[in-house]
Chains A and B, each alone.
Chain A
Amino acid sequence: MSPVWYAAVIGVRRGWTELRQTFTTGQDVFGYVLWTVLLIVPLFLVRDDPLKGAGISTGAFMLPSMLGMTLAFTGMMTTAQLLATEREDGTLLRAKAVPHGMVGHLVGKIIMVSGTALASMALPFAVGVFVVDGVARQGGGALLTLVWVVPLGLLATLPMGAVIGSLVDSPRTIGLLMLPVMGLVVISGIYFPLSKLPEWLQTVGQIFPVYWLGLGLRAALLPADAVAAEIGESWRHLETAGVLGAWTVAGLLLAPSVLRRMARRESGAAMAERHRKAMQRVG
């Protein structure tokens, strides 16, 4: 085993350690619970409103959609947030100071964010199936959709998140990015079918992975008849794989060079400067 692979194995262990830490840290656990509450409350309010022509309730439509949104959010925004924070607090510089530490750090981060994403989806899902009817009842083949949509979703969003995290100058910029992201959710068919929007907004929404992850999750978890609410009355598996695949390719092409450039610039002086700025903001 080459030292690079060796560092990757250490990175896997690092990822598990960090997952264990996040699930045993009060503040983090509170975050997962809060997220679940934020998703379940609107779900609860519309649990009995029928979705016209689809044979399911609006709540049933929303649950898988929100799971897809959670996946996109975590993959992209959490990755970006962690990277920007760890650049500022010196975690990355420490990784850079040990042999192949960056490899370990990156592998660890992939495991950590993937695990976080799965947990952030599992919790609302576990609660949601008791709140609304008709989700995840058809079993079998449709559930297989999850097996490719979820990993592909992580692949489409994680590298892009890493690119964003490398390009922003501070973790606080990520906070600002949340505003356009909220806007994106509105045009991604998460809380109501995309077909209710003007056509040009539909087109914009379909550029981003959020819509396709919502669609993929609905395809996996909703009854077959619910397809009536979708654009073209189809689950569009090919298009889903195509768009998510395109984001994956773009992310994997961009991320290594952007990450390398970011890592090259890390030094004690750069970090001290950020520390100083951050402290000024605090004080």
Chain B
Amino acid sequence: MSALAIENIHKRYGEVETLKGIDIALESGEFLVLLGSSGCGKSTLLNIIAGLAEPSGGDIRIGDRSILGAHPKDRDIAMVFQSYALYPNMSVARNIGFGLEMRKVPVAAREKAVKDTAKLLQIENLLERKPSQLSGGQRQRVAIGRALVRNPQVFLFDEPLSNLDAKLRMEMRTELKRLHQMLKTTVVYVTHDQIEAMTLATRIAVMRDGRIEQLGTPEEIYDRPATLYVAGFVGSPPMNILDATASQGQLRIAGDDHTIDLPSRLGGAVADGQRVKLGIRPEALRLAGGSEAGPQFRARVEVVELTGPELVTTARIGEQRVTACLPPRSSVLAGEERTFTVEAEAFHLFDPESGRSLAKG
């Protein structure tokens, strides 16, 4: 029995189908991130789980009961909104305790629960304030507190960090991870930020056009992207996608004369003369010293950007752009023609038509 089961969920608004059959089963304590660009249906799915929207088809179960048609308050869920959605006319303490107040929890028990939650989130000194007197990060903590205090089966987060500035976002991300490790709750978390997804999730569902492109652990999503879309969406800078042609166990990158030996695990996946998309993560590329074996290609360096921890180098192979994340002290200058090398294990091959990965398993 899974903690949360989403079964073949469809959602239509008139002619437009925003969700086209979503299936996910979550074990208790899992942290699922729904990742996708805006309009992919991730928020709609979250609202359906919350009961703020009704699906056109399919079923959702929490524990062993279907919650379709149940009022949001009867679903044993709590939700944190992007806009925090705090009650501006109530104190922080009452905001946090509101759910308990509505459920007629006795005052003493309620106050204790509010206090414990505030302590957990380190906002005890703010309990008497109004939301308008809080900073963005503090408001976010209150919103999380309001969800935590009720101790529900499933937590829903709708882009909770996107209203915060970059530094605070990192802090709150770590905070969320800490809370999840401590409380071991089941979480569904919507975001378009792939770093949030990678760092927080135990599993990521990459969504696109109302479908799940890939459902897997962060490692699977990063190391073995199932489609070109996933490959391009996860990772920053995004994966290099190069046009190439396979012939006799070798790959020829369009615009480069060299051929590269196909790693044996990919050898059987492509036919002779087949055109493929070759994916290489920027961080997998290195400058060749001259003596290495292994796949190599030459490219003309166009732009070199030092970000601090790494040197982001943009180069060209013929008409194709390649980005490489090199160590910060690499000696590379704009305008040079350089040889880059990469482990054959870091190759990803995709079918250019379907966009699906050609790797087996």
Q: Is A bound to B?
A: no
